[in-house]
Amino acid sequence: MLAFLDREEILETALPSRESDIPLSVEEQSILDLLRQRGASFVIDLAHAAELAPSVVRDALWSLMTRSLVTNDHFDVVRRGRQEPPATTESRAALRRPARTRPEGRWSLLPWTNATSPETQAVLMASRLLHRYGIAARELALCDPWMPPWRILYEVLSRMELAGEVRRGYFAEGLSGAQFALPEACRLLQEQHLPSTATAPVILLHSLDPANLYGAGAPLDIPLLDGGTRSFSRRSGNWITLRAGKPVLLVEQHAKKLTALASASREEVEAAVALLPSLCQARGNVRHKLTVDEWNGQPVTSTEGRELLEKAGFVRDYLGMTLYAVWR
């Protein structure tokens, strides 16, 4: 489980419970002791001090990270994920090899504390939920595995309501039960009820972005005009476009499958399609082209989606529509 916390929040947050109490390996314990002695350190320095191959040190550090014991000050390390050690043991000559061109950042211990009371933790988590979404509701709390049970959050939020810090009401359709909102969130919601949202931009969100509240495992489903809902998986290859908080276009399987919602106007769908080329420019995206095979469940070349994609720079490529990043 990966979480992003402000530095000041770490000292107020208790060490999360781990699924097992498996003892640390010799290498993991050695690296942990070195970090306690030396403070934040680079992999190569830890490898020299522990007399271990850098790959072994990286593997030990990743294991310690999964136990919520260490962290890294460079996000690219997390983005790349765990690196498997080589099939054969590296020789000491590995210590003399040039450092990798990709930055690895420094590793350090996480200053968890177990002295924080459950009451303080509940207040901290309720505030975190409110400032993340503006609104606190049962479904939103379930999105975060770090959150305490809703019955505990409900009690804390009720006390915050009595203190005038939040307001209770029914703010977001589709969210059940009592909802609590910050005063600023209430004001912004009221502004959304002004005569028109025509100037609201169409935005592209990754399906796993915390700001996306639609899809499987999320608070809201994709609504359909004829009733029912549309299945939408929250996974790495899926995106969603929204306008004024409402879904416009579903982008699935790295854009191979597009679904324009019937509730969206042609203008909104066209604006959503115009955002697709930005997927080629996303950091860490090694894909040099986007190929759309399906539009609303039909071969894309025989649908109205073909014209919209052509306006965005796509060209016909056999049975699909392809955008080559090098042409942009």
Assess contact for 171 and 189: CB atoms under 8 A.
yes
The predicted structure's pLDDT at residue 51: 92
Tell me the per-residue pLDDT of 139-155, one tens digit each, with 9 for 90 and over.
999 888 888 999 999 99
Classify burial at 108, counting beta carbons within 10 Å of its beta carbon; exposed 0-12, middle 13-18, buried 19 or more.
middle
List beta partners, residue 299.
294
Residue whose C-alpha is closest to residue 64's, from 9, 109, 128: 109
Supply the DSSP string of 207-218, one letter for each residue.
TTSTT--BSTTS
Q: Are 131 and 182 spatial neighbours (Cβ–Cβ below 8 Å)?
A: yes
> Which domains does the chain carry?
7-109 (1.10.10.10), 118-192 (1.10.10), 202-327 (3.40.630)
Q: Judge whether residue 196 has pLDDT over 60.
A: no
What are the pLDDT digits (tens) for 213-245?
888 878 888 876 566 667 888 888 899 999 988
pTM listed for this prediction: 0.65
User: Within 13 Å of residue 107, how many CA atoms lie on the same side as its CB?
Assistant: 28
pLDDT score, position 156: 96
Dist CA 205 CA 231 (whole Å): 17
pLDDT at 199 over 50: yes
d(CA 183, CA 186): 5
34-93 pLDDT, tens digit each: 999 999 999 999 999 999 999 999 999 999 988 888 888 887 787 777 766 554 444 445
